[in-house]
Amino acid sequence: MNTQKQLGFNLIELLVTLSVVGILATIGLPNLRDFLLNNKLTSRTNKLVSTFNFTRGEAIMQNGPIHITAVIADDWGKGWTIWVDRNGTGELETDVTPPEILHEVKFSGTTTIKVDQTFKNILSAPLENELKERTLSYRGDGTLALTQPIQFHICDNRTGEKGRTIEIRPTGRVALTNDEFQCE
């Protein structure tokens, strides 16, 4: 009587296992890609909301204006700088003490964050320079230096997908208005 135990797989078991793994990978990988892209979109949305809330809180705490300036004028998706104009020049200066920059966020990748075109010309910075068109400012009481709400649309490089819309009201409150924004 042969009492030895079999170790390992035979060829048929190995082929069945590889077939099952191949079928699961074919079904699962496209869903995993969408899951990861949706997670990245949600992460960028949450980062932007927390940035606006942080900036509003800093403006209230310091009882003075705090500015958020986009790295690129038409696309906030590459990042932004939160700063305070300590010396009142209206310029973002990096070589002063104490530093004017409170926080910087920089991104790479394909997520775009655009300001609603309706409000592009009314960005709120009380600045009279090239930063004005890409800067949003909070006053010392936590309100925006705007009289109308402003919307930010967050999308990635998938065409036909739904994006996120963040609205900042003149009171300074931030709201995720809907998930039904149609990306281009």
CATH code of 131's domain: 3.55.40.10
Domain range for 20 is 12-182
pLDDT digits (tens, 9 = 90+) for 26-64: 887 778 888 888 888 888 889 999 999 999 999 999 998
> CB atoms < 10 A from the CB of 49, how many?
17
Task: Evaluate if residue 170 carries a pLDDT over 80.
Answer: yes
Residue 151 · residue 175 · CB < 8 Å: no
Question: Is the residue at 80 inside a domain?
Answer: yes
Please give the Cα distance from 84 to 17 (Å, whole number).
Answer: 61
Total number of domains constituting the chain: 1
- 18 domain residue, yes or no: yes
Residue 60 domain-assigned (yes or no):
yes
Examine residue 170 and state whether it is found in any structural domain, yes or no.
yes
Q: Is residue 132 part of a domain?
A: yes
Say what the pLDDT of residue 49 is.
92
2 located within any domain: no
**Residues 166, 120, 43: CA angle, nearest 5 degrees:** 30
Instruction: Determine, yes or no, domain membership for 178.
Output: yes
Residue 105 neighbours by CB under 8 Å, 6+ apart? 47, 51, 79, 80, 81
Confidence (pLDDT) at 127: 61
pTM score:
0.76
Domain contains 5: no
Backbone φ and ψ of 40, nearest 5°: -65, -40
What is the Cα–Cα distance from 77 to 35, expressed in whole angstroms? 20
